[in-house]
Amino acid sequence: MLAAAVLAALAASGCGAASSSAASGRDGGGASAAATATPGSSGAGGAVSPTPAASGSSAAAPALRVVFVDVGQGDAAALRSGAWSGLVDGGPQGSEAAVGAALAKLGVRRLDMLVISHFHADHTGGLPALVKRYRPRRAWVVGKAKGALASALRRAGTVVKQARRGLTARFGKAKATVIAPGGLSGDANTDSIVLLLQAGGRRLVLTGDSTGAGEATAGASLARGPPVDVLKVAHHGSRSSTTSTFTAGARPRFTVISVGAGNSYGHPTDEVVLRLRKAGARVYSTQKNGSVSLTVSSRGTLRWSFTHSSRPLTRGVR
């Protein structure tokens, strides 16, 4: 059933086709172009300059591929590095086909790693079916899975590990480091796993719904290193996350907000979008851009593609 749904979603959405280039700032179809960071560039949306589409070994063997899946009001990111594959969160119930389509686009048959940032339904609702289909070998979590998800993980034989700050692993050619939580507060959002991925000389951060002390811990860690190249914005652009202190420490160049159109929460807030732009970041959202795909070459070239518009977000919900 799921496999059929995945094929249907692929056929319907054209998930495998890039719509346009992030570097060009145009809407519409066409081949994607590379976006290469340039030293010393700054300003909202000004951290890249366009170059022709890459060819040769860097295009054939990327360090990391990521699809920020359009799952509506929720989170899911599919990862591929060489033969290794992973998934960070699984979206709300009903998003199984969209996530499966993204995994199919990356050529995934079985997951090596599942990272569950926290056990809220908009991040885990699709996971029971996805775990059954892709049988992840390992999982990083904070807390304990329950119900259908716990049963699916048990039946898949997944080795589950509690994740805390300092946990590291190789995700194919990428290095993965958990930078939060440092300790547990008892609040699921605060205790979200914040994951730093380093690949091709680039730094990507996936934040779950991190807020409060957890986000502060992550921000302090990021402030000690180079700017973040790609940030998955916490909590769908809620004003309770992505504080000025955090953005000052992270210094993101590109950001992606996973959020549903017309949601009842007022996400993403105008306050957060403007804060990110003021920090010099280009802001994308699944609400506007659809599923957002990123390829990091072995030399650090960032190549973006979108299932909808390629135009960055300039304002949030006011």
Residue-wise DSSP of 126-194: THHHHHHHH--SEEEESS---HHHHHHHHHHT-EEEE--TT-EEEETTEEEEEEE-SS--S-TTTT--E
150/10: higher pLDDT: 150
Q: What confidence category does residue 51 fall into, taking pLDDT thresholds of 50, 70 and 90?
A: very low
Q: What is the mean pLDDT of residues 105-114?
A: 98
* 242 has pLDDT over 70: yes
* 22 has pLDDT over 90: no
pLDDT at 318: 77
pLDDT at 31: 33
Strand partners, 161: 140
* 53 has pLDDT over 70: no
* Tens of pLDDT, residues 191-203: 999 999 999 999 9
* 25 has pLDDT over 50: no
39/58: higher pLDDT: 58
User: Residue written as tokens 């086709």?
Assistant: 17
pLDDT at 178: 98
Tell me whether the omega of the peptide bond preceding residue 268 falls within 30 degrees of 0, making it cis: yes
Taking a C-beta distance cutoff of 8 angstroms, is the pair 267, 259 a contact?
Answer: yes
Closest CA to 260 of 72, 89, 123, 74: 72
1/110: higher pLDDT: 110
Q: What is the mean pLDDT of residues 211-219?
A: 97
pLDDT at 164: 98
Q: What confidence category does residue 274 fall into, taking pLDDT thresholds of 50, 70 and 90?
A: very high
CA dihedral 243, 118, 15, 59 (to 10 degrees): 70
Phi, psi of 251 (to 5 degrees): 50, 55
pLDDT at 209: 96
* 309 has pLDDT over 50: yes
Q: Which residues contact 131 (CB under 8 A, 6 or more apart)?
A: 114, 149, 152, 153, 156, 158
Helix (H, G, I), strand (E, B) or coil at 234: helix
Closest CA to 269 of 249, 241, 246, 250: 241
Closest CA to 306 of 71, 11, 17, 23: 17
CATH for 2-7+34-52+61-305 (3.60.15.10, 3.90.550.10, 3.40.50.720, 3.30.565.10)? 3.60.15.10
Q: What confidence category does residue 34 fall into, taking pLDDT thresholds of 50, 70 and 90?
A: very low
Considering just the CA atoms, what is the radius of gyration of the chain in Å? 18
pLDDT at 60: 59
* Tens of pLDDT, residues 80-105: 999 999 999 999 999 999 999 999 99
* Helical (H) or strand (E) element with 247: helix 244-250
- Residue spans of the domains in the chain: they are 2-7+34-52+61-305
User: Residue written as tokens 């605060």?
Assistant: 190
Q: How far apart are the first and last CA of the chain?
A: 41
Tell me whether the omega of the peptide bond preceding residue 252 falls within 30 degrees of 0, making it cis: no
Q: What six digits make up the tokens of 214?
A: 């957890």
Residue type, 107: G
pLDDT at 61: 87
pLDDT at 286: 97
Range name among 16-25, 129-138, 170-179, 228-237 with the lowest pLDDT average = 16-25
Q: What confidence category does residue 2 fall into, taking pLDDT thresholds of 50, 70 and 90?
A: very low
Q: Assign residue 152 a region: left if phi > 0, alpha if psi is -120 to 50, beta otherwise? A: alpha
pTM: 0.85
